Chain A
Amino acid sequence: MYRYDALDAEMLADRTAEFRTQVRRRVAGEITEEQFKPLRLMNGLYLQLHAYMLRIAIPYGALNSAKLHRLAHVSRTWDRGYGHFTTRTNLQLHWIKLKDAPDILASLAEVGLHSIQTSGNCIRNVTADPYAGAAADEVDDPRVWSEAIRQWSTFHPEFSFLPRKFKIAVGAAPDDRTAARIYDIGLKLRRGRGEEGLGFEVMVGGGLGRTPYLGPTIREFLPTRHLLSYLAAILRVYNRYGRRDNIWKARIKILVASLGAEEFARQVEAEWKAMVETGEAAGIDVPEAEVARIRQAFGEVPFEDRPAASAAFEAARAGDPAFARFVRHNVLPHKVPGYAIVTVSLKAPGEVPGDCSSDQMDALADLAARYSFDEIRVHYEQNMVLPHVALDDVPAVYAELQRIGLSTPNVGLASDIIACPGLDYCTLANARAIPIAQDIAKRFADPAVAEDVGELRIKISGCINACGHHHVGHIGILGVDKKGEEFYQLTLGGSGLEDARLGEILGPALPAPRVAEAVDALVDTYMRERAEGERFVDTYRRIGLAPFKAAVYAEAH
């Protein structure tokens, strides 16, 4: 966990004081709601259907027990005893009062948490691989670079009033666990050839919403020392030439698509070259010593020498089929022998995807402190990750997760659904997402059924803004409004990972009660057609849309 120094802490203290002033000026009527809006938005404060919503940043998804305990405390004290983890690894509190916001921020600041740049047309909270520091396939720890980006982008004077919001994801492994190609900028750290050291593949202009694009690579290899100045060049081109006349055309993906990736890349390279020649770039890029300091501020995890296999773990797996199932779906190998990565599913059937009660947060924080070197992560798939659990301890962790209702063995399965808050909370939504997710998850509530179906990524958005990433779901579900009624359009075959592609529309939108049965029909078709070892999405890619379409729409007659 990155430890704040005095400078980081004072930045936060000053922010808290500033926001207190801004709220006071608004309450006193010195500034209008129109003028206040961008200020509160820069502090993650939205006015939603029923109340103010506060979006708390969890930079690159990383928490420790103190921070998670504080989130529990805040959600219990000023909200309704729970919070909602999002696909951007933030935590949303949906029921707070404006007058309490300064106190909430002050409380969060005590443990180094904040809501800086979780909304507004600025560089948003940076996300990273949730298995950072634990995955065997990473070339370096992406959190080091994520933290450098966090600092550089915080209160950036040139880039705080962009045409639209701007999101950056950082991965450092061949397996993409960040959905890099659907980000405004996706960065993938890789090893260069020969003496080149480490560098980033730079993808720009991905995004979902009403015009979805997968971001093209504009640079195959950017040496790490140039990272921030190169990002500044991208942002400057976007800030100057991105569209501002139409909110739906304002994201960088539209600029990249309209110029073409090659021309956009040329403009960025020209801007960057000018920054290098005038010395501006050298002033932006942080020196190696600062990168080393950040790395050190994360601390070394004091892993112990352990045998690769654990007798206690194997015994539990042999003796308890439920535990064995949990291991099959929620436990991944770790880069250090004798350890494992444990994913905690926030997708218990019948619950709201991503919701976590204050009591559960406290219990998870205790688990992190006791069994995972005080580290816990938020996964963008709206789950939590205990990154460093000794194999010997996995049975104890599982037992505690069972006790708090978070032992659902469904990571990557049909009931592990991503869903936005939808019309239950959000002013933008056309339709509800949560009840649809609950309907579907119930059909796969029997873990044996879910396991038999295998990997199936279902993603639901309540409107075209696509916060639920429906375009990149194996099955994507989009809520639409048809003359005041909620309908749902299904897409098939999307993926946001290294096999990234956008889903294909299945057919006419369906009314809410028919969505879950349509998913059933799709799954039945897959089960009938699948070849050995094929996932749902593999079968779809092999046999195409027609059989799936026939299954869903034939049943309507």
Chain B
Amino acid sequence: MLKLIKLDQGGPAWVEDSYFDVPDEEPTPGQGDVLLSFARFVEEGEALAAAGRKVGVRLNADEPVEALAPHLDRVAMVALVFPKFRDGRQYSQATLLRMRYGYAGELRAVGDVLLEQGRFMARCGFDAFAPADGTGPEDWAGALARYRHVYQTAADRREPNFALRLQAAEGA
């Protein structure tokens, strides 16, 4: 079972992953929550969702979120795969899911997920992480709290410095 850190527990905490990550070459199990590749989701997702199953979609960095967008109401979870921590495409994909397509479900970072990129991921709307570097919730709590302020608006909707300044000026 995947070790997963989630943010919706009042801070980073381990949770049990209920999804079975289905490899493309294996059949979909007959019960339980499943995580499918985008291609498999297109084939099977609708029927599984209609049967009351929770279905997650695993999206690679070269599979554009635009293709997933029309199906989002049937998706219970999206897992964006980081092929290499240096590959930043999924930050844009996450931002688009949250800000353009209004996706509000679980957004999971999987693949080469490292603590030091955690705050960027959280700001782009990821709320679940499968760390590949052996770090745990305490490390993540520290890393996500390192910065008291942010300079720009992002999917996490934190108030950027320019908004805080404006509020201070209006309050004064």
Q: Which listed residue, A35, A228, A290, touches B114 by the CB 8 Å rule?
A: A35
A39: which B residues are within 8 A, CB to CB? 116
Given contacts A240-B89, A290-B165, contact A274 B100 (CB under 8 A): yes
Q: Is the CB of B162 within 8 A of A286?
A: yes
Kindly state the separation between the CA atoms of A10 and B99 in the bound complex, as whole angstroms. 28
Select from chain A the residue with minimum beta-carbon distance to B122: A157
Kindly state the separation between the CA atoms of A283 and B123 in the bound complex, as whole angstroms. 14
Residue A17 interfacial (CB < 8 Å)? yes
Kindly state the separation between the CA atoms of A161 and B95 in the bound complex, as whole angstroms. 14
B153: which A residues are within 8 A, CB to CB? 283-284
Chain A window 2-29, contacts with chain B (Cβ cutoff 8 Å), 1 for yes, 0 for no: 0001011011001101100110000000
Q: Is the CB of A155 within 8 A of B150?
A: yes
A-B contact pairs, 19 of them (CB 8 A): A7-B161, A10-B148, A11-B147, A14-B149, A21-B146, A31-B133, A35-B85, A152-B151, A152-B152, A155-B119, A156-B152, A158-B88, A161-B85, A162-B88, A228-B152, A239-B88, A244-B87, A289-B169, A293-B169
Q: Is the CB of A284 within 8 A of B91?
A: no
* Total number of B residues with any Cβ neighbor in A under 8 Å: 36
Residue B154 interfacial (CB < 8 Å)? yes
A192: which B residues are within 8 A, CB to CB? none
Chain A window 222-253, contacts with chain B (Cβ cutoff 8 Å), 1 for yes, 0 for no: 00000010000000100110001000000000
Q: Is the CB of A239 within 8 A of B92?
A: yes
Residue A425 interfacial (CB < 8 Å)? no
Residue B117 interfacial (CB < 8 Å)? yes
Q: Which chain B residues in 114-133 approach chain A with CB under 8 Å?
A: 114, 116-117, 119-121, 123-124, 133
Q: Which chain A residues in 88-140 approach chain B with CB under 8 Å?
A: 121
Q: Which chain B residues in 72-95 approach chain A with CB under 8 Å?
A: 85-89, 91-93, 95
A7: which B residues are within 8 A, CB to CB? 149, 161, 164-165
Select from chain B the residue with minimum beta-carbon distance to A154: B151
Report the 4 A-B pairs with minimum CB-CB distance, sorted nearest first: A161-B88, A157-B123, A283-B153, A290-B162
Q: Closest CB of chain A to B97's CB: distance in Å?
A: 12
Residue A160 interfacial (CB < 8 Å)? yes
Q: Which chain A residues in 375-415 approach chain B with CB under 8 Å?
A: none
Select from chain B the residue with minimum beta-carbon distance to A35: B114
Residue A258 interfacial (CB < 8 Å)? no
User: Tally of A-B residue pairs with Cβ under 8 A?
Assistant: 109
Given contacts A5-B165, A151-B161, A280-B100, contact A157 B89 (CB under 8 A): no
Given contacts A31-B133, A289-B169, contact A17 B150 (CB under 8 A): no
Q: Is the CB of B91 within 8 A of A157?
A: yes
Q: Closest CB of chain A to B152's CB: distance in Å?
A: 5
Q: Is the CB of A293 within 8 A of B165?
A: yes
Select from chain A the residue with minimum beta-carbon distance to B89: A240
Q: A14-B149, A284-B152 are in contact. List 4 more A-B contacts (CB 8 A).
A: A11-B147, A151-B151, A155-B147, A280-B100
B99: which A residues are within 8 A, CB to CB? 278, 280
Residue A287 interfacial (CB < 8 Å)? yes
Residue A159 interfacial (CB < 8 Å)? yes
Q: Closest CB of chain A to B115's CB: distance in Å?
A: 8
Residue A81 interfacial (CB < 8 Å)? no
A447: which B residues are within 8 A, CB to CB? none
Residue A38 interfacial (CB < 8 Å)? yes
Kindly state the separation between the CA atoms of A393 and B165 in the bound complex, as whole angstroms. 40
Q: Is the CB of B162 within 8 A of A161?
A: no
Q: Which chain A residues in 134-182 approach chain B with CB under 8 Å?
A: 151-152, 154-163
Residue B50 interfacial (CB < 8 Å)? no
Given contacts A11-B149, A158-B154, contact A236 B92 (CB under 8 A): yes
Residue B51 interfacial (CB < 8 Å)? no
Q: Closest CB of chain B to A294's CB: distance in Å?
A: 9
Kindly state the separation between the CA atoms of A239 and B86 in the bound complex, as whole angstroms. 12
Kindly state the separation between the CA atoms of A290 and B164 in the bound complex, as whole angstroms. 10
Kindly state the separation between the CA atoms of A357 and B89 in the bound complex, as whole angstroms. 43
Q: Interface SS of chain A: helix, strand, loop or mixed? A: helix
A18: which B residues are within 8 A, CB to CB? 146-147
Q: Is the CB of A14 within 8 A of B148?
A: yes
Select from chain A the residue with minimum beta-carbon distance to B82: A161
A239: which B residues are within 8 A, CB to CB? 88-89, 91-92
Q: Closest CB of chain A to B149's CB: distance in Å?
A: 5
Q: Is the CB of A287 within 8 A of B162?
A: yes
B169: which A residues are within 8 A, CB to CB? 289, 293
A162: which B residues are within 8 A, CB to CB? 88
Given contacts A35-B114, A35-B133, A154-B151, contact A160 B120 (CB under 8 A): yes
Residue B172 interfacial (CB < 8 Å)? no
Residue B67 interfacial (CB < 8 Å)? no
Residue B166 interfacial (CB < 8 Å)? yes
B91: which A residues are within 8 A, CB to CB? 157-161, 239
Q: Which chain A residues in 311-348 approach chain B with CB under 8 Å?
A: none
Select from chain B the residue with minimum beta-carbon distance to A244: B87
B151: which A residues are within 8 A, CB to CB? 11, 151-152, 154-156
Kindly state the separation between the CA atoms of A286 and B153 in the bound complex, as whole angstroms. 10
Select from chain B the residue with minimum beta-carbon distance to A148: B162
Q: Is the CB of A287 within 8 A of B88?
A: no
Q: Is the CB of A38 within 8 A of B86?
A: yes
Kindly state the separation between the CA atoms of A17 and B142 in the bound complex, as whole angstroms. 12
Select from chain B the residue with minimum beta-carbon distance to A162: B88
Chain B window 39-57, contacts with chain A (Cβ cutoff 8 Å), 1 for yes, 0 for no: 0000000000000000000
Q: Is the CB of B89 within 8 A of A35?
A: no
Select from chain B the residue with minimum beta-carbon distance to A163: B88
Kindly state the separation between the CA atoms of A452 and B161 in the bound complex, as whole angstroms. 53
B148: which A residues are within 8 A, CB to CB? 10, 14
Select from chain A the residue with minimum beta-carbon distance to B116: A39
Q: Is the CB of A158 within 8 A of B95?
A: yes
Q: Is the CB of B116 within 8 A of A22?
A: yes
A154: which B residues are within 8 A, CB to CB? 151-152
Kindly state the separation between the CA atoms of A156 and B87 in the bound complex, as whole angstroms. 15
Q: Is the CB of A14 within 8 A of B147?
A: yes
Select from chain B the residue with minimum beta-carbon distance to A13: B148
Given contacts A35-B114, A278-B100, A290-B166, contact A14 B150 (CB under 8 A): no
Kindly state the separation between the CA atoms of A10 and B124 in the bound complex, as whole angstroms. 22
Select from chain B the residue with minimum beta-carbon distance to A5: B165
Kindly state the separation between the CA atoms of A479 and B161 in the bound complex, as whole angstroms. 45
Given contacts A7-B161, A35-B116, A278-B99, contact A161 B86 (CB under 8 A): yes
Kindly state the separation between the CA atoms of A318 and B151 in the bound complex, as whole angstroms. 53
Kindly state the separation between the CA atoms of A286 and B165 in the bound complex, as whole angstroms. 11
Q: Which residue, of B124, B146, B147, has the highest number of chain A Cβ atoms within 10 A?
A: B147
Q: Which residue, of B86, B88, B147, B161, has the highest number of chain A Cβ atoms within 10 A?
A: B88
A14: which B residues are within 8 A, CB to CB? 146-149
